[in-house]
Amino acid sequence: MSTNSSSEANVITIDVLKPYDLLYNGQYRYLDVRTEEEFKNGHVSVGDVLNVPSMIDTPEGRVKNPDFLEEVLQVSTKDDYPIVGCQGGGRSLNATIDLVDAGFKNVYNMGGGYLAWVQNGLPVAVVTDDPQTGPLSQ
């Protein structure tokens, strides 16, 4: 018996270099599913970048965000073109499966995640909190 779900078979994972072109040309949006803290410490900085954590930290540890799909649907539609990424690829694969199962049609999983993005020298941003100007992305 296979442990792969049928939804996982429907997920398209693309090499980390492909998202750069897709994001740069504007049709796709980057959906970072890492925690807010991870996102602030560094994230993809090409095109439209969203942060909706697929996992949340609780006193019991990190658990699946029960509001993930609802939060994604507040900032995008099922007809949008999201490229889903995380730190190393595991969370984004699971989040992409959830999006495919929910009816998203044009979704890609970014293989290797943010770590692969950085290793390939692609543009990143860091959010700093400045008391005078508020959160900034650099």
Q: What is the pLDDT of residue 131?
A: 47
Q: Which of 9-23, 61-75, 76-90, 99-113 has the lowest mean pLDDT?
A: 9-23
Instruction: Locate 38 and state its tokens.
Output: 């991870």
Average pLDDT in the 11-27 region? 90
Give how far the C-alpha of residue 59 lies from the chain's centroid of Cα atoms, to the nearest Å: 24
H or E element at residue 71: helix 68-75
**Catalytic site positions:** 86
Rg of the chain in Å (alpha carbons): 15
Q: What is the pLDDT of residue 3?
A: 44
Q: What is the pLDDT of residue 92?
A: 97
98-113 burial code (b ≥16 CB/10 A, e <16): bbbeeebeebbbbbbb
Q: Which domains are seen in the chain, by residue range?
A: 6-137 (3.40.250.10)
Q: Are residues 85 and 44 in contact, defined by beta-carbon separation less than 8 angstroms? A: yes
Q: How far apart are CA 9 and CA 45, in angstroms?
A: 29
Q: What is the pLDDT of residue 127?
A: 84
Q: At 5, is the pLDDT very low, low, confident or very high (cuts 50, 70, 90)? A: low
CA neighbor of 91 nearest in space, from 138, 128, 49, 39: 39
Q: What is the pLDDT of residue 10?
A: 85
pTM for the whole structure: 0.86
